[in-house]
Amino acid sequence: MFCRNALVPQVISAGPDETIADALALLQQHGIRSLPIVDDKQVLAGCFSFDVVLSRLLPGAITLEHHGLEDTDLRLDYLVDAEEKVARHLGELLPVKLADVMDPPANVVHPETPLWEGIRQLFRRGSPIPVVDAASGEFLGLLTVQSVMGELAKLVGEDGTPA
């Protein structure tokens, strides 16, 4: 079985010239956590998620844990009544183009990637993972924990044994 068997082809995506405000509206409207960013040729250019915004709202020192410094116990409980400043900063971020803030598409799988490798990637990196054509880079859909579990469930009979 391959990743093409479990990919979700109908995916909400955004373009690199759309703004953070546009992306946040899509995430909220559709109840999703991330957006693939595709160019006009449907080539995957990057990914956008709430994490992208959160990382820009937090003081730089707090984001160090994403750089291997997890044991650094930096806290923000000393910041009292900072909501107005954070909200103002969010307002400044809303018109920024996604091309300027998106994460690069570092973790992708291909339709012909064995599903077990896709499962390993989901376990290691989290869901979802973009599925792209190996030759053209065209974005084809997403591999998600839900889509993989649904595909595997098709292989199991009602009594719990392989069908």
Which domains are seen in the chain, by residue range? 3-153 (3.10.580.10)
Joined together, the tokens standing for residue 138 give 């065209």
Please name the amino acid found at residue 92: E
Q: What is the chain's pLDDT, residue by residue, as a tens digit (163 residues)?
A: 999 999 999 999 999 999 999 999 999 999 998 999 999 999 999 999 988 888 887 665 444 444 454 455 555 554 555 677 778 878 889 999 999 999 988 789 999 999 999 999 999 998 999 999 999 999 999 999 999 999 999 888 666 777 6
End-to-end CA distance of the chain: 15
Please give the Cα distance from 95 to 91 (Å, whole number): 8
Contact yes or no for 115/133 (Cβ under 8 A) = no
